Structures are given as structure tokens and as C-alpha cells.
Chain A
Amino acid sequence: MSDFSVRSDNVDVEQIMRQIRSRIREKRGVDYTEDEIRELANVKLEKFIDPKGVRSNLLEEYRRLSSAEPAPPNYAFGEDTLYETHRAPIRWLRSLLRPFLKLLFNPNPLIQALHIQSQLNERNAERHARLDALHYEVIHNLVLELTRTGVEVKSLKMRLESMASRLDFDERRARALEGVVQYRPGSVPPLQPPTGQEPGRREQGRRDQQGRRDNRGDQGPRDRDRDRDRDRDRDRDRDRNRAPREGGQQQQPPQQQQPAPQQQQPQQREVPPSAPVREPVPPTPGEPQQSNALDNDGNERRARRRRRRGRRRGAAGQEGFAGTGQPAGTADAGGGSADEQGEFESADGGPEFEDRASTTSPAAEPEASADRAPHAVQPEFVTPASRPAPEHVDAGWASPQPSPEHRETEPVPPQPSSASSSASAPPSTSSSSSATHHEAPVAPTPSSPEHREEE
């Protein structure tokens, strides 16, 4: 064939094909040929046992059938079997004529074959009996394991159904509670998107709290007593101030309070102890944010903190912010932390702005919560009037006086989910929150039941 080939120096088709095949082998991993793949694909599944078809009484049936089946018949074939008879004369006659019979044909191969056959039958029967035992064992184990697996599958199915129903019930309960809180007269307009923290983040917050609690435990009993006394005094002050505020603000609808933040009065409402505390619900994009119990709880703490600060700063603060018309309780809002500054509606009263710090840095909140007083806090609702004027988060500490224009021009879009909020959280916000933790107490936004439990 040498005269029938055109061999080019630079191209070798066989080599190219070898390269192509090696590339295919690398891609495919296992070097199955096309025929092997076809063979594998053509294997019928009926050949394999169907697990659903295995019955629990299969073993019984097998035992019944094998016992009902009689042993295969066999015979013994010796050298003289062909000529045997119980009649003596005939036996004698046959033995006499046997040489003549052998003249006609040779019966020895026939005798040998039948003899071998009888031995084979015997051997097969023994083998069959041995295999029967093996089959019995295999089927026994098969039935046992499959029955066990079936029971486990059923159990898992029931557990799954139970979990699903519980989950469904919890969701419906949360939704119902959310509705109760949202449409309560005098409840706050939307504050912030719920910070549905991820479990890992919750755990992180819990660990942080725990760490701080441990640190606090290192302070010694004297420090703890001092803190406790201070908190008790603050609570007493708060209770004293609560009654006139509630009386003045409860009758006003929230919408009327919002257009003029300077005139807003802090309104606090105590939630009855039986009021359910529920999980935050993510806001629907495009809709005004609705408040929820956790936000109110958190805002209540902020308001409380503001009041404390206001009391601490005294008249100086009141004079310093008199031009703004803010009440004494909100006097430090302008210089407050980003958490506090961002928690306001827009200047026109619409529920557009939210607490960006609390939404953008959910991870920072548990840290801040550790600075709170250790005593239990009753969850309270906070009206918009109790909050200071909104401020862009980036303004932070540097902006002592929030400007309404700034608020209008830079609205903070609602964060649809905690994941997105955490993803979009600028690091500066987190750092500012953590800085707040050292310089001034920052009101945390408890957003998880675990958090509340620890409180």
C-alpha cells in the first residue's frame, strides 16, 4: 500500500486521532468504549431485584415452597441392574442368555452412562441442598434488611411530615402575630427591614454576647452591683417619665407626628408581658416598611438610652439643642451614633427611611447589646416621635446636626433581606457601630429570639 499513500511530513491523521482519543479519555475519565457504554445502557433493570417487590413474608413463602417440593428422584444403577428381577427363573434365564445379548449389542456403555448419571444426580441433589441453604440465608438477610429499611423510611417520612407541619404552623403563627402588631392603633410606622439574621450570624452574636458576659463576670461582684444599682435608678426614672408621654401622644395618629420631627414627642408604649415576641419578617420591596415587635423593642431601648443620656447631660444639652426644638430626651440625637441617626422616617413623614445602621450591620448589633444594662427589659414600642431626626449613616459622629435636605436627597433603600443587607453593609458602618460600643452605648436591634432570651 506504500504506493497508495500520501504521507505528509506535517500532518499525520493517525496521530491526530490518537490525540483526539486521549483527549476524550481525559474528559471521560473512565475509558469505556462505545460498545461497553451501549452494553451498560442496555442492561435491563428487571434483571435486578425490585426492592419494592420484596415482601416481608418472602422468607415464609420460600420455606414453604422448598419444603413442599419433594426431593428429585434418583436411582441406583449397578452392573446387573438391567438383568435384575425378583423371579428366580427369569433371572437365571437372563444370565444364561446374556452372552447372546452381548452378541447383538454392547450394553456396557449404556450401563456405564446410567451409572454415571445416577452419581451425577446424587451430586446435584447435594449441591442443590447446599445452595438452598445459601439461598435461604441470602433471602433471609435481604428481607430483613429491606424490611428494616422500609421501616426506617416510613419513620423518616413521618418525621419529615411532622417537621413540615410544625414549620407551617410556626409560619402561620408568626404571620398572625405580625398582623396583630402591625395594625395596632398607635403602633409605629415602618422602621427598618427586619433583620432576619442567618443562624450563623445569630450564633456569632450569641457567642459575642456570651464572651462579653464572661468578660463582665471578670469584673468582680462589686462592679456588677454598681451596674445593677445604676440600671435600677434608670428604670425608675424611665417609669417616672413614661406616664405624661403616653398620655400626650397616644391619641395622635403616627402620620400627623411625622412631618415635623422637631415637634415630635417621644412616645413609648409598654407591651404587655403577654405580647408575643416574634421573628422579623422581610419587607416587601416597594412597600412601605412596617414596624414589628422586635424593632419596637429595640427602639424602645434606644429611646430609653437617649433619655438616660439626656438626663446625664442635663440642661446643657437642652440649651444646646434648643434651636432645633427637640425635646430633651432626643437632644443627643444629632451627635448620636449612626444607629440612632438612621432610624427615622423622611422629613415629609413618609415611611421611607429606615435605620440603615441597624439593617446594614446586623452583625454589629449583638456586640452593642452587650453594653446594655444586664437587667431584663420589657419590650416596648417606640413611636417615630421618640426618635431623633434621620441622618445618613456616613455622616456618623461628625454630623452634629442632621439636615433635612440631606435626608431627602439620600434616602436609604429598604434592604430586602438580611443576607443582602449584610452583603451590602459598608465596613465603615460596622466599624462605627463597634466604635460606638466603646464611646457611647449603642442601642442594639435584637432580632432573634435567642437574643431576647439572653436579655
Chain B
Amino acid sequence: MNVAVVVQRYGADINGGAELHARYIAERLSRHGSVEVVTTCARDYVTWKNELPAGVEQVNGVTVRRFPVAHQRRPDEFGRRSIRVFDRIHSVADELRWLESEGPASPALVQYVEQASKDLDFVLLFSYRYYHAWHIARRIPAKAIIVPTAERDATIGLSIFAPVFRGVRALMYNSPEEQAMIVAAANNASVPGVVVGVGSDVPERSDGDRFRRKFNRRRPFAIYIGRIDENKGCGELFSHFQRYAAAFPHGMDLVLVGSAIMDVPRHPRIHHLGFLDDRDKFDALAAADVLIMPSYFESLSMVALEAWGLGRPVLANGRCDVLKGQCIRSNAGLYYENYEEFVEALYSLESNGPLNARLGRNGREFFKRHYAWPVIERKYLDMFAQLKRELPPEGGSHIAGERDTAMDPLPGWFARRRRELPPATEVLRRIPDGPALADPPARADVPSDRQQRDRRRSA
């Protein structure tokens, strides 16, 4: 089995969500076949500046082929185009220009994958929103498998992605919420898809006492692990926690692990430890009473899965459908949507020991059942086997009854420039939200938005 993993950045020291996800999958799949990673020379996800050398290298036993990015991202231009496609009536050409400005624009990478696809069984494309995924999926739809890592943001409302979701061979979703959102946006329920997610190398044993000794943490604490960024909901977390600390002087502390993009407030009960290695990170999780996930947009929270793997409950932002759905499905975490709920939920987890323990046990079971590496690997391998059994449509769409047609072609020159597409934010508003607790729709029976909404409500 020959598989190519295409991702925007790749490296042992690159810890972005999708990038880490891709690395884990590539390393795991390399045990079952030949895996080559195709990526760019960029290290910075904002500028896509070529920092790593082009060519082939080995990273943790996996072959990595890097291609230079043609041009860096110009933030002004990208912002202007984003406003155009997200907030205004626009055209397909506007969306394509937006995609080009977003990057990482690497035509050489696309060309290479297209040429190499003859020898490949499948091409795993990580992150649907980037240049490489869209172009490669359109060029080799019969071998393209997308791992969308989609969040509930306006990008999903752009019209150029729907044909891609409908035209590829399969999609490997991270969560049922992601699946429901993409199905609602692209009407691609007939395309093979499975909720997989990603595993984590959670150690069998972790030493919370070691962490407490090393970092001199004696009081009970809640922990946040990840980039300390306003976009991750850290501003709201700090605000809520400071109010909580004022209301509960003997309550928990807050320990932050990760690099800080924003200012961390100076508070005697907020401790920022910076970036930690895996051992310290897992020990910190084991020492913590609860993991807080304040992010609004997540396609899959790996940290939450790791916390569950270690038997720790999670307090998640309830406005993130994925996190809320995971908490409900696993019965291993609480969620909040405002300060009052934050305080009550945190206090419940802090004061109610049996509840904390039961949630932790549920989380451990949830992790083992769905996110242990053997489970993840099996799902990928089963999907490959299934796709091999099924003949690829001749470059056609997977819409029921239209399997012989090709992937929706781009409109003509004039039609492409006709500004008649609704703003992406408006399209996003029409997509049903909330945790996906109902069963996914059958492949041939694509319900309308209203039917999906009604079904969720009844569930």
C-alpha cells in the first residue's frame, strides 16, 4: 500500500493541530505500508516563509519531501480578500483569489503529487481549506482522501469547497459534529466517510507528584494546555477564572502550559509554565483536577482526548459544538456557555470528588474505545480496503444517481466572475449547529437542513 500524506507543514517540532495529526497518522500508517509525506518548506503558518530546506528527509522514520512555497502570505491582501468572500456578495473568482492568497501556494507540490499519484494508492490531504488540498483534490479526485479538520468558521461556507467534498473518494472526519457540518454544507452524505479522529501516545503511567514537586504546585489546580491565544478562548477563560478566584479564595489555581501569544494576567492563582515536553505535560495532566478547554472552534481537541486518556475530566466551552458533543457522548466532561455555568461546573468538579472520579473513568473508557491507536489505525485500514474494493468513479461525483459525472467543473470565465454568491458567513448561519447526538444520515438519503435540524431536536 502506497500512501502519500500531504500537509501544509510537517516536522517533529511543529505542533499545530492538523500538522501533529498528520504526523501521527503518517508514522502510524508507515507500519502498514509505504508512506511518504509531501509538504512545504514553511514553518510559520502565518507567512508560509520557506525556512526548511527543500528536498527529501527522514522524520521519525518517515520520508518527507518538501517543496518551496511560491509566495508568502500578504496579510493585508489576505484580510481584504477574506472580507470580500466572508462578508460580501462575491464571485467564484474572488474565492479562488482568496485561496491563492491564503496559501501555502506551492504549485510544484501539486504538480509532484499529481505526477506521483499513478504510483500511489491514496493521497491523504490534511486541512481542506488550504491551497494544496483544493488543487490536489481537483486533480486526482479518485485517489484523494480528505481529512478536513474543519472548524465551524466561515470558510466552510465558500462555494469552491463543496464540489471538492462531493468529489473526493472519502473523508476521514474528526468528530460527528464535523461530519454533520460538512454534510450540511456540501451535501456529500453519499461520499464514504468515517469519524476517526486521532490517537495519542498517552503513557500508561504518569507521575503527578513529580510534576508537583518539580514546579512547586501544592494546591489543587485546573490546567489549560495549548497555545495561549485569544482565538483559543483564553481571554474569556482568564476573565472567568479571575471572577471565580475572587468568589472562591480557596478554590483551584489555574496552570497554563503552552506558548503565549497574548498577555497572561498577573494573578497569584494563575501560573504560566510555558512550553513543556511530553513527560511534563502528561504529568501535569495527571496532577490536575480538571482540564479546561475554552476554545470556540475545534475540530478535535487532542488535549481533551489525552486528559480523558489519563482519567481526568474536562471542562469545555459549550459554544464549541465539537467539544460539547464530545463531553456529552463520553459523559466525561462538563461544559459552560457563560460565567455562571463556568463557576458552577468548575465548583462541581472541584468539590464533588466522586463526580470527578466517575467522569474521569468515563473519559478513560471513551478514549480507549474510540481513540486508542489500534482503533484509529483499523479505521484507516478498513477505509482503504473498502475504497479498494469499490471501483473509483471515473472522475465522477458521489452524489446519488450521478456517479458517472465528473467532479463539478469550475464555472466558465464569465460565470466565474459574476458576483452572485452569498457571503460565507451567511451560508454558515444556515448550517445547523449544536452537538451531533443523532445517528449520521444514510448515504443515499440526504436530508434537507430542516430535516436535520428536526432530527437533532427530536434527539
Residues of chain A having any CB pair with chain B under 8 Å: 1-2, 4-8, 10-14, 16-17, 20-21, 23-24, 27-28, 34
Contact = CB atoms under 8 A, between A and B. Distances in A.
B299 to A, nearest CB: 15
A233 B330 CA distance: 101
Contact of B362 (A2, A4, A8, A14): A8
Given A11-B355, A11-B358, A20-B344, 8 more contacts: A1-B438, A1-B440, A2-B439, A5-B329, A8-B361, A12-B331, A13-B359, A14-B328
A4 B176 contact: yes
Given A11-B362, A17-B335, A5 B344 contact: no
A6 B365 contact: yes
B176 A1 contact: yes
B278 to A, nearest CB: 26
A17 B336 CA distance: 9
Interface of B: 176, 195, 327-335, 337-338, 340-341, 344-345, 348, 355, 358-359, 361-362, 365-366, 369-370, 436-440
Contacts of B362: 6, 8, 11
A251 B333 CA distance: 91
B440 A10 contact: no
A7 B328 CA distance: 9
Contacts of B345: 17, 20
A24 B348 CA distance: 13
Best-buried of A6, A7, A8, A17 by chain B (most CB within 10 Å): A6
Contacts of B361: 8
B325 to A, nearest CB: 8
Contacts of A4: 176, 195, 329, 370
A28 B176 contact: no
Given A1-B440, A16-B348, A6 B331 contact: yes
B248 to A, nearest CB: 15
A27 B338 CA distance: 15
Contacts of B330: 5-6
Given A1-B436, A11-B358, A6 B341 contact: no
Given A1-B176, A1-B437, A10-B358, A17 B334 contact: yes
Given A20-B341, A20-B344, A6 B335 contact: no
Nearest to B344: A20
A13 B329 CA distance: 9
A239 to B, nearest CB: 72
Contact of B366 (A2, A6, A21, A28): A6
B331 A8 contact: yes
A1 B437 CA distance: 6
Nearest to A16: B334
Nearest to B195: A4
Contacts of B340: 24, 27-28
B359 A11 contact: yes
Nearest to B176: A1
A34 B331 contact: no
Given A16-B355, A20-B341, A6 B328 contact: no
Contacts of A8: 331, 358, 361-362
Given A6-B331, A13-B334, A1 B341 contact: no
Nearest to A27: B340
Nearest to B330: A6
A6 B329 contact: yes
A12 B329 CA distance: 10
A4 B355 CA distance: 22
A105 B436 CA distance: 59
B439 A1 contact: yes
Among B327, B329, B370, B436, the most chain A Cβ lie within 10 Å of the Cβ of B329
Contact of A13 (B333, B344, B370): B333
Contacts of A12: 331
A2 B335 CA distance: 21
Contacts of A14: 328
A1 B436 CA distance: 8
Contacts of B344: 20, 23-24
Nearest to B349: A16
Nearest to B179: A1
A437 to B, nearest CB: 55
B338 A1 contact: no
